[in-house]
A and B are shown apart, each in its own frame.
Chain A
Amino acid sequence: GAGVSQSPSNKVTEKGKDVELRCDPISGHTALYWYRQRLGQGLEFLIYFQGNSAPDKSGLPSDRFSAERTGESVSTLTIQRTQQEDSAVYLCASSLVVGGSGETQYFGPGTRLLVL
């Protein structure tokens, strides 16, 4: 079946603008995760959704970052008043919940964000 998809694949924006990144998880996957990968650094966890609720938002770097998920499907990550340090690849992953190999996270291709 279809994998995780993300849009846009690339986004260039000016400092101070808001951006919205979208993730479509694998159908039936109730768990959804956002990560950030900055150049030359490892991946950082941002937020975890179980269904439409977010039990863990501990990785969001500031109150400029927010995310929501609707219909236990699509999720959007919004960055307000973007800063140059927000430039990174934003990765989305989804998984089934509870038990066995179903908990493996499968990743989308990412959105490459460049803030000028």
Chain B
Amino acid sequence: AQKVTQAQTEISVVEKEDVTLDCVYETRDTTYYLFWYKQPPSGELVFLIRRNSFDEQNEISGRYSWNFQKSTSSFNFTITASQVVDSAVYFCALSEATFKDGNNRKLIWGLGTSLAVNP
């Protein structure tokens, strides 16, 4: 069965600190996708990144970076020089990448990490 674990329920940092959000996943599929979404206080889920299982290259986008390691089944997310606007709940999610079930890509979600960045 597929499972996503975000062990950190809440994290509180002071502005300009770096912070890493952990994500560990379980799947028997050989091909899959991993995602991070942000849910600010307004409630709407905002897509951040999608990573294919065959692509272990790390990615950087501005102050955001992602470290994908298949050997440890982890897909961690780091925010460098955090800002108050980064305060949100961050979700890690997993989907299959096969062609069964009409290309079903339903997402299996972690419970989220609530990040508070204080001025």
A41 touches B105 (CB 8 A): no
Q: How far is the CB of B28 from chain A (nearest CB, A)?
A: 17
- The answer to whether the Cβ of B14 comes within 8 Å of any Cβ in the partner chain is no
A91 touches B45 (CB 8 A): yes
> Given the interface contacts A35-B107, A41-B111, A43-B91, does A50 sit within 8 Å of B44 by beta carbon?
no
Q: How far is the CA of A89 from the CA of B45 in the complex (A)?
A: 12
Contact-size category for B: 20 to 34
Q: How would residues 76 to 108 of chain A score, 1 for a CB under 8 Å from any chain B CB and 0 otherwise?
A: 000000000000010101010110010111111
> Given the interface contacts A42-B91, A43-B91, A101-B50, does A107 sit within 8 Å of B104 by beta carbon?
no
Q: How far is the CB of A69 from chain B (nearest CB, A)?
A: 13
Residues of chain A having any CB pair with chain B under 8 Å: 31, 33, 35, 41-45, 48, 50, 53, 55-56, 59, 89, 91, 93, 95, 97-98, 101, 103-110, 112
Given contacts A55-B102, A106-B47, 5 further A-B contacts (CB under 8 A): A33-B107, A43-B107, A56-B102, A104-B50, A109-B43
Q: Which 7 A-B pairs have the closest CB atoms?
A: A55-B102, A107-B45, A50-B102, A43-B109, A42-B111, A42-B109, A45-B106
